Amino acid sequence: MAQEFRLPDIGEGLTEAEIVRWLVEEGERVEADQPVVEVETDKAVVEIPSPYAGIVLKHGGAAGDVIEVGSVLLVVGEAGEVEPDNLDTTSELVIESIPSSFAVGERHEPSAVSGDAAPIVGTLSEEAEVLAPREDSRTTDAGDQVLALPVVRKLARDNGIELAGVKGTGPGGRITRDDVQAAIDSGEQLSSGEPADTTEETEIPASAPRTPSAGSEREKLSRLRRTIAANMSKSWAEIPHVTTFEDADATRLLETRSALAHRYGRKIPLEALVVKAVLPALDEFPEFNATLDGEDLVMHATRDIGIAVDTPDGLLVAVIRDAAGKGVLQLAEEISALGEGARARSLSVDQLTGQTFTVSNIGAVGGGHGTPIVPYGTTAILSVGRATERAVVYDGDLGIAPIMPLSLSYDHRVVDGAQGRRFIALVIENLEEPALFLAS
């Protein structure tokens, strides 16, 4: 008997995924737990294994298609069977669990994957389970209940669209995002109590985008850039930012880094030392390692440090779990591995989410001071610039020293300016004398 496998929620509130490529074609045989498709989410490019063994009778979409959680991903059966004519994607579902062999980070031939599929940390989407409509859900003229995913209902609600008046074009009459968008564009489906504004514009608003000139090109933002835009917009809109700028004498830090590299015969990423210098400050000022949750400040027990990684596809933030429990060499090894995984786009969802504090080494690309944006769900981020030789005065004597620019952005709802100064002063003290944090 043919069996349907529906796109599961592989974590972090996934609502949809884009099919990158099929690893098993229609008509070919697949074994249980064998990777069958590669999809792109807002977190990573992942392989999804089939829970069934048999012949792949039907794919739920082609490469490049975006399908929602709970939609049929593929149909598996036996040779000679015919896939169902109408795949029921709207009935109450029990989404298949992911086989135990599923490894989010595993993938084949990274170079074969589309270049626009390297998402960053964070998700802004609604829960994507297919739920039975609430008791007060409107019905269509035929008396059927309105069928729409929560993310579609939210889009309609935010734009004053009455779903009962929207014709669903999805399987089983389900209302899709495109259906709601069409209703928004038409301006004819506003819900009661929210009449359309029929006032004609007599002039173009100042904020209207410029009409493209001849020869202009239009390119759709990649999934990565769309995710970056959404996350940055949310952080900037909801977090009142304050940025403190300071400089640190990096003489001892760079000497320590060189000595460690010489002793152990390996490169020591600067981030490994910066993380170690930051950890005592997070212990002293726990509000910098926290999440503002409504009227509560949740100060995290662990120090899960995010490391910003510049990749060919855009910015990724890889996460070091429990950084406080690791030595410099362990941090160096993990940071190097995370950087390689980020550039190969092979990191798991767990490695790309959940940081409690972030370090961004913009000095690696020649940066100095900056105004880093606090990742949503955290309260602070430290940006480290490139150390350059400058004239400095010590005890009245003029000298030359490598000076490292530091930029600390924090959530002003949680941290006052004086506390921000105290935090970065302790970080500077540690950076300028590494023995202080290496002994801890």
Residues with a catalytic annotation lie at 412
Tokens representing 341 are: 């995984």
State phi, psi for 178 to the nearest 5 degrees: -65, -35
User: Of the candidates 83, 62, 97, which has an alpha carbon nearest to the alpha carbon of residue 3?
Assistant: 83
- Look at the alpha carbons of 323, 329, 335, 340 in this order and tell me if their dihedral is positive or negative: negative
> In Å, what is the CA distance from 252 to each residue of 70, 362, 394, 404, 432?
55, 20, 15, 12, 6
Whether the CB-CB separation of 347 and 341 falls below 8 Å is answered with yes
State phi, psi for 190 to the nearest 5 degrees: -65, 140
Whether the CB-CB separation of 277 and 422 falls below 8 Å is answered with no
Using DSSP's 3-state secondary structure scheme, residue 16 falls into strand
> In Å, what is the CA distance from 40 to each residue of 73, 195, 290, 397, 418?
14, 39, 30, 58, 43
The 3-class secondary structure across 342-380, one letter per residue, is HHHCCCCHHHHCCCCEEEEEHHHHCCCCCCCCCCCCCCE
The Cα–Cα gap between 213 and 215 comes to 6
Using DSSP's 3-state secondary structure scheme, residue 336 falls into helix
